[in-house]
Amino acid sequence: MPTIPWLSELHEKAWTEFEVAYGDAGRLPEHIVALTTDDAEVRHKALLEIRNAIMAEDLKFEAALHVTPFLLSLLRDDLAIDRLAILQLLRQLAFRDEHEYIFGYFIPEARHNDSDHLGDEDGTSIGVYHKVMDGVPVYLESLRTGDVQERLQAAALLSYFPLQRATTVPHLLDHMHEDADPAVVATLEIALGLLGQGATPEVRPALYERLHHTNTLIRWGAAIAVSWDGVPGAPGIIDTLEECASADRTPIPFMNGTTGLLASWLMRRESGAEPPY
């Protein structure tokens, strides 16, 4: 087992005082350390125990506020073997349901500004969201150095934090130009659409350039991204959205790969259609 520089800090916390959904909060340090072991079965069980303790259906529990920084430390210090699984858990921690953000039910800026008026349950959720947002430098590093699956998760995570768009958008734009994997590029395009095409002057024209790309996923990602603020009259964009809407599942991680559902709603939204969730 590797040396863990923050091990004493991990054990100093009063874990038994933190509310959990299930299990023994006092064993959370043990489970966090187990994520560094070479035994895949032990790691899998530890991650499951952590998830079951800090989340239940749509709820986040107090212990999540204290677990999240250590999950980020595992990634930052290159101690985590299952980096992909931890990034997926962090995505779940950021939102009770990703659809809340994608379809505009959860506005991070508004909740940030109104945090003094949140109840305990919502206060914990927004607190966990901000703890996950602290990992933006970690996600940018994953986007730079990870394999395809890790880059997909990192790109999706980075789209969740409009409060950090000044930092993240230039990196997302650079990686959109440079990444060799079409699914990662399409995910980056949609991430830029979520964060706002006006975030930097370069974003909108870069997305429009890809509307007629020869790769299907890249073309779909661009069409979804530029349609976020209303379907524009760009030639062929409706045809591209219709093409995407007919797809079953894609490797783009948003909405568990049901990108076609998103494209379909973007078209129907113009006539007042409600989000599908």
Identify the pLDDT of residue 277.
59
Identify the pLDDT of residue 267.
84
- As averages over each run of 10 residues, the pLDDT of the chain (277 residues) reads 90 96 95 96 97 91 97 96 96 85 68 44 85 97 98 97 94 97 98 82 90 95 86 77 92 92 82 64
Question: Distance between CA 172 and CA 191 in Å, rounded?
Answer: 8
Identify the pLDDT of residue 253.
95
Identify the pLDDT of residue 266.
86
Alpha helices in 55-113 (DSSP H): 62-76, 83-94, 98-102, 108-113
Identify the pLDDT of residue 270.
58
Identify the pLDDT of residue 113.
46
Q: Which long-range contacts (CB under 8 A, 24 or more apart) does 85-91 make?
A: 85/47, 86/35, 86/47, 87/139, 87/142, 87/150, 87/153, 87/154, 87/157, 88/153, 89/47, 89/50, 89/51, 90/132, 90/135, 90/157, 91/153, 91/156, 91/157, 91/160
**Which tokens belong to 14?**
């009063």
Identify the pLDDT of residue 75.
97
Identify the pLDDT of residue 119.
41
Place of tokens 């440079």: 178
pTM of the model: 0.92
Identify the pLDDT of residue 64.
97
Q: What one-letter code names the amino acid at 77?
A: D
Helical packing angle, 148-158 and 136-145, nearest 10°: 150
Place of tokens 């939102």: 95
Q: Is 128 in contact with 93 (CB distance < 8 Å)? A: yes
Q: Is 43 in contact with 49 (CB distance < 8 Å)? A: no
